[in-house]
Amino acid sequence: MKRTRVAVMFGGRSVEHEISIISALQLIRAIDVVNYEPVPVYIAPTGRWYCGEQLLDQSFYKRMPDSLSSVDEVILMPVPNLGGLQILRAANTTDASSEARTLIPIDLYFPCFHGTYGEDGCIQGLMEMAEVTYTGSRVLASALSMSKQHCKDIVSKYGVPVLPSQVVYKAESQKDLGKGLVAMSKRIREAEGFQKFPLFVKPCNLGSSIGVARVTNAQELDAALVQAFKFDMCAMVEPCLDKKLEINVSVLDAGEPIASVPEIPVSSSGKELTYEDKYMRGGGSKKGGGLESQGMAALTRIIDPPDLAVEMKERARDFAKKAFQALGCSGVARIDFMLDLESDTLYFNEINPLPGSLSFYLWMGSHPPVFYTDMLSRIIEHAKSQQTERASLNRDIGFKAMK
């Protein structure tokens, strides 16, 4: 039986670059190698693409850029029916002329990016142009999911509660030699529901708690906005719940969306989760660059918490499926909620269309459990089915208007 060649794509031009590497290597170790042949495809921070077995070795990334010469440099051309990745430069050579027409055959692409230029619809657009089979959400769902404000606007129309928020833009903050930031901050603090600190500031299009800050006064608000604008062109400001609990649920679409058991992630400080909480605990280390980390699987968490009311668990699972479907997602996603312990209200926080570690740990704890290998197989086979349906659409009606 011929195995399906699956290009597992990771890295990318994002501040979440190393987390993508961790998630992809976990995926490759878990995939069913009887039915699928994983092919690692790494996009470096420079935007150049590479392919080769050496990418499976974690030490490869600590030896960059020298190690990049040992793998093929490749590219996916935005042309239908090419059937694979074109080699631009073969491993251990500098001459690309003899390799210009050589292809690495690929049957299916499995994006495993986190953040910009990979999780946000950019790479999905390229794959649509190439008409290749790929897993996960399509262009629109990916783009919407990465925009926190657009997410909230859409899911709220489907009955999922959201906190009030304000979106502010970097360009506005830079007006009048920086006076725009002062005016922006003042406008935020005068808005209804925002007069009281603390407030939350976060980039609109990032994850992994990068650029997120809890602010307790006007000076901290200004500083947090400046920090958020280092990572994104727009930022979101929300009121901070005094007593809250974070609850996360994963949704898997393999024909019919199903929800995992919920989890309660636990921060090291008892406050908001940080990048270090998510990726540097349970085996990771700053000294090692994070690559020894287990990714999101390393976070301290309570899966299917026994002290959480059954009704609340079901509410979270129901809202998660509603949000997933409202945004048009596919593959696997993780939806994060905030529970206001004073009002017992569950608020949608954000959706991760390509979550760290693909949230496999939530499915391992579900009833019945869905093992990581099986989850990956479901996602791959569903992507094949979706591609077959899309291929049946008629996109050519000939030249009729031109005479």
Rounded Cα gap, residues 189 and 392, in angstroms = 53
DSSP per-residue string spanning 207-257: -TTTT-EEE-SHHHHHHHHHHHTTT-SEEEEEEPPSSEEEEEEEEEESSSE
Q: What tens digit of pLDDT does each residue of 158-173 get?
A: 999 999 999 999 988 8
When pLDDT is averaged across residues 302-313 and rounded to a whole number, the result is 95
**Whole-angstrom distance, CA of residue 85 vs CA of residue 87:** 6
Instruction: Supply the angle between the helices 179-190 and 218-228 in degrees, to the nearest 10.
Output: 120
DSSP β-ladder status, 108-111 and 103-105: unpaired
Residue 278's pLDDT is 47
pTM to 2 decimal places: 0.86
Q: Is the pLDDT of residue 49 over 90?
A: yes
Domains of the chain: 4-134 (3.40.50.20), 146-161+242-262+304-389 (3.30.470.20), 166-239 (3.30.1490.20)
Average pLDDT estimate for 378-392: 93
Tell me if 196 sits within 8 A of 239, measured CB to CB.
yes
Q: How far apart are CA 23 and CA 164, in angstroms?
A: 32
Closest CA to 136 of 296, 340, 354, 331: 331
**What is the per-residue pLDDT for 69?**
95
Return the minimum-mean-pLDDT range out of 72-81, 241-250, 292-301, 328-337.
292-301
290 pLDDT higher than 70: no
